[in-house]
Amino acid sequence: MLLISIILFGIATAKTINTTVYRITPRNYTGLTNFDSGSAGGDAFFGIYELQAPLVCSNKKAANYNLLCRNEPILQIPGFNVYTRTIIEMDERTGDYSECNPDQTTGIFACQHFHYHDHEPPVCWFNSTDNPEWKTSFKSECDLTICKCDAVEKKSVGREITGNQFGSGNPKDWPQQCLDNFYAVDGYIFGGKSKPTKILTNTNEGDCCNACAFEKRSFLSGCGGYTWDKVNQTCSIFSIFDKPQTPSPPSSQGLVRSGFNLKGTPYWSVLGSTTTQIALTLNGSWWSTRASGECNKGERPNGNGNCWWRIVKQTSNVNASCVNGNLIAVVKNSNQGCWDACSPSDRANMRSTCFIQCFFETAAGNKTKGWLPMSRSTLINAFESSFDTCPQIKPCPPPCLPPVSVQSVNTILSEEVEVELIDDKEDKEDKFPVDVWFFNEIVKQGKFYLTKKGSSGRR
């Protein structure tokens, strides 16, 4: 008996915790099963992110790889969307975040992981560099001889930190001119066998970015990117046909870095990298709660791996327009002059370029204009307080259908299946010929912030 007690005492049982999650959704989708949600910072970011849809989705080439745009007819329904606030009880061990998105025809949600591709080496649950803790925390649930583990990928509550997903690519000291028009190339620079078409001397990195961005870009000519050497103060301009494939020198040799020129490609936006900057400011969490890990009625997660999460209570169900309106108001009040410079019609139109640009540049800050980024606390307070001040919306009685003016959705159910949302035919049709390397290695892999697979359209 004593031996049994000692053995049982030595077995570590995972803890359970209560967490508050938020979710913006059309009223015909309820609960959290096979859906994604977020912390206050995570869902405030997602709500802000969705506000750019009218602008970024007007570019059809880029929109084809942006799930935000693909989901817009189903998930962004004026006057029909709500934000929910829900307390869940969950196993404290968080696993791999699942991107749960609706089928474009049926509206049925499917959860998947976009990081599995045939052309990439597998990231096994026990060798993840992003989540090294999995090897220890999930060892009682997973097999070290098998790369995939359902406890990590499908059962535990998945977690992703938005600052890591959207905001990790840009150098913290990048000039505004580079933030506006470039994609930061990580680990490599233009050079080597490729020879620059132009070299500028005694120049800073901001002027280097300007020189490249405003060189006329056509199908056969123009600046594809730059390499800037801080020690020598030189700026090398490279052709649109070049690829950054020379390893970056060690920092001990001085700062040398490159950027890919987005200006003139389908991937450029007037918003620049404001999305990534806001993601870094809010730096919240996104959560995925799949059916395979949900506790049965009357069951609770207890750390033994039998079930992983359950809803304790939904505490708020409020009008999404009210929450978004409060976020817009706090941003607008901090820089009214930007909106005043818009035309009367644009300053009142949330879908206008001027309105959207003012909102994102004000929230993110603009170094050239001397605008400081807004504080995390200001944005979070506007978001969280809305759940107690905005009108509570009663549950939508069945059959709960969207307004007839929007694309119909045949069902409100969700199911757990693995699908690939972007097929090879679309890939071939959407290539931008002079930048095949960027398309294949960045856009297609979901590494570009305007086309991040799943995460940019999660819900």
Question: Does 358 reside within a domain?
Answer: no
Question: Does 342 reside within a domain?
Answer: no
Structure tokens at 58: 């007007």
Pairing of strands 81-91, 16-26: antiparallel
pLDDT of residue 458: 52
pLDDT of residue 7: 39
Same domain? 84 vs 195: no
Same domain? 42 vs 189: no
Same domain? 380 vs 289: yes
Question: Does 13 reside within a domain?
Answer: no
pLDDT of residue 407: 41
Give the separation between CA 203 and CA 279, rounded to whole angstroms.
30
Mean pLDDT, all residues of the chain: 84
Question: Does 227 reside within a domain?
Answer: yes
Q: Where residue 168 falls among pLDDT bands split at 50, 70, 90? A: low
Give the separation between CA 66 and CA 64, rounded to whole angstroms.
6
Widest CA span in the chain: 82
pLDDT of residue 314: 97
Give the separation between CA 410 and CA 268, rounded to whole angstroms.
35
Q: What's the rounded mean pLDDT across residues 256-279?
A: 88
Which position has the higher pLDDT, 426 or 23? 23
> Helix, strand or coil for residue 24?
strand
Pairing of strands 109-112, 256-261: unpaired
Question: Does 319 reside within a domain?
Answer: yes
Dihedral through CA 20, CA 22, CA 26, CA 29, nearest 10?
-30
Pairing of strands 99-102, 109-112: antiparallel
Same domain? 68 vs 214: no
Does residue 25 have a pLDDT over 50? yes
Question: Does 9 reside within a domain?
Answer: no
Q: Which residues sit opposite 288 in a β-bridge?
A: 36, 158
pLDDT of residue 254: 78
Do residues 409 and 74 make contact, with C-beta atoms less than 8 angstroms apart?
yes
pLDDT digits (tens, 9 = 90+) for 277-334: 999 999 999 999 999 999 999 999 998 889 999 999 999 999 999 999 999 999 999 9
Last residue of a domain, one of 211, 226, 261: 261
Q: Which residues sit opposite 256 in a β-bridge?
A: 229
Structure tokens at 8: 């049982």
Does residue 402 have a pLDDT over 90? no
Q: What's the rounded mean pLDDT across residues 227-250?
A: 92
Does residue 411 have a pLDDT over 60? no
Q: Where residue 415 falls among pLDDT bands split at 50, 70, 90? A: very low
Q: What's the rounded mean pLDDT across residues 331-354?
A: 96
Same domain? 81 vs 215: no
Q: What is the CATH number of the domain that holds 188?
A: 3.50.4.10
**Domain range holding 385?**
19-170+273-334+374-459
Question: Does 353 reside within a domain?
Answer: no
pLDDT of residue 459: 53
Give the separation between CA 171 and CA 413, rounded to whole angstroms.
42
pLDDT of residue 103: 84
Q: Where residue 62 falls among pLDDT bands split at 50, 70, 90? A: low
pLDDT of residue 438: 82
> Helix, strand or coil for residue 291?
helix
pLDDT digits (tens, 9 = 90+) for 444-454: 666 665 544 34
pLDDT digits (tens, 9 = 90+) for 82-126: 999 999 999 999 999 999 988 888 888 989 876 544 444 567 899
Same domain? 29 vs 65: yes
Last residue of a domain, one of 230, 261, 292: 261
Does residue 340 have a pLDDT over 80? yes
pLDDT of residue 266: 78
Same domain? 236 vs 286: no
Same domain? 147 vs 206: no
Same domain? 228 vs 211: yes
Question: Does 181 reside within a domain?
Answer: yes
**Number of domains making up the chain:** 2
pLDDT of residue 392: 95
Give the separation between CA 380 and CA 384, rounded to whole angstroms.
6
> What is the percentage of the chain residues whose pLDDT exceeds 70?
83
Last residue of a domain, one of 208, 237, 261: 261
Same domain? 49 vs 128: yes
Q: What's the rounded mean pLDDT across residues 25-46?
A: 95
Same domain? 164 vs 36: yes
First to last CA, the chain: 51
pLDDT of residue 227: 95
Q: Where residue 23 falls among pLDDT bands split at 50, 70, 90? A: very high
Sign of CA pseudo-dihedral 377, 446, 450, 176? positive
Indicate the pTM of the whole model. 0.83
Do residues 154 and 98 make contact, with C-beta atoms less than 8 angstroms apart?
yes
Which position has the higher pLDDT, 207 or 428? 207
> What is the percentage of the chain residues whose pLDDT exceeds 90?
56
Does residue 386 have a pLDDT over 50? yes
Nearest to 458 by CA among 176, 146, 162: 162
Same domain? 300 vs 403: yes
Q: Where residue 74 falls among pLDDT bands split at 50, 70, 90? A: confident
Does residue 357 have a pLDDT over 50? yes
pLDDT of residue 445: 66
Does residue 456 have a pLDDT over 50? no
Give the separation between CA 448 and CA 439, rounded to whole angstroms.
10
Q: Where residue 225 falls among pLDDT bands split at 50, 70, 90? A: very high
Does residue 237 have a pLDDT over 80? yes
Distances, alpha carbon 31 to alpha carbons 27, 28, 60, 95, 459, in Å: 10, 10, 33, 20, 12
At 352, which amino acid appears? S
